[in-house]
Amino acid sequence: MENLIFRKVCEGDIPEVGEIFNYYVLNSTASFYFEPLNMDEIRKMVFFESERHGAFAAEEDGVIKGFCYVSPFNKREGYDGAAEITLYLKNGFTGMGIGSKAVGFLEDFSRQNRFRTLISVICGENQASIKLFEKMGYEKCALLKDIGKKFGRLLDVVYYQKML
């Protein structure tokens, strides 16, 4: 992890970012999509109109190990000080500290872009993500019971928040 860097996702990263994300679509409840996203849908997920938001590849020695992004929490102007943060690690690269570094990077980026609070939206059974965000100082601020559905099961969603 010594050479891990975060850089803006570029057009050439779209196939690999899509592969990382679609792994979770097909194999987990980390995403509530049922079918893999196509490349245009991935582009819409990682490219933003505002420079205050952005998607970043977590790369080490030329290998993308995941991606993360700061996106609008809500499009209404009154929510301008809040953002949602999200991260996905390539299968096989979890549990190595990349997630903590990604959250720290996104927090720094968010401070520079004048956000006052960050929200992470997590499936209630995703204990690895919950532990990560709790370790990084996020507090559970909402529980939405049985709001999502995946693999024929109803699932809770939890919101974790950190004031910057």
Q: For 135-144, what is the mean pLDDT? A: 98
- List Cβ neighbours of 31 (8 Å cut-off, separation of 6 or more): 21, 24, 25
Asked if residue 136 is part of any domain, the answer here is no
**Cα–Cα separations (whole angstroms), residue 155 to 88, 126, 139, 150:** 19, 10, 20, 7
CB 18 within 8 A of CB 31: no
- List Cβ neighbours of 147 (8 Å cut-off, separation of 6 or more): 154, 155, 156, 157
- Single-letter amino acid code for the residue at 34: F
Report pLDDT for 82: 98
Please tell me the distance from the alpha carbon of residue 33 to that of residue 46, in angstroms, as a whole number.
16
Report pLDDT for 29: 97
Asked if residue 40 is part of any domain, the answer here is yes
Asked if residue 157 is part of any domain, the answer here is no
Asked if residue 36 is part of any domain, the answer here is yes
In the predicted model, is pLDDT for residue 1 greater than 90? Answer: no
Report pLDDT for 158: 98
Asked if residue 121 is part of any domain, the answer here is no
Asked if residue 101 is part of any domain, the answer here is yes
Report pLDDT for 33: 97
136 φ, ψ (degrees, to nearest 5)? -85, 10
Domain limits at 81?
4-115
Q: Give how many domains the chain has, as a whole number.
A: 1
In the predicted model, is pLDDT for residue 156 greater than 90? Answer: yes
Please tell me the distance from the alpha carbon of residue 79 to that of residue 76, in angstroms, as a whole number.
6
Asked if residue 123 is part of any domain, the answer here is no
Asked if residue 69 is part of any domain, the answer here is yes
Q: For 125-151, what is the mean pLDDT? A: 97
Arithmetic mean of pLDDT over the chain: 97
For residue 2, the SS3 value is coil
pLDDT digits (tens, 9 = 90+) for 91-133: 999 999 999 999 999 999 999 999 999 999 999 999 999 999 9
In the predicted model, is pLDDT for residue 41 greater than 80? Answer: yes
Report pLDDT for 2: 82
User: What is the CATH number for 44?
Assistant: 3.40.630.30
CB 46 within 8 A of CB 37: no
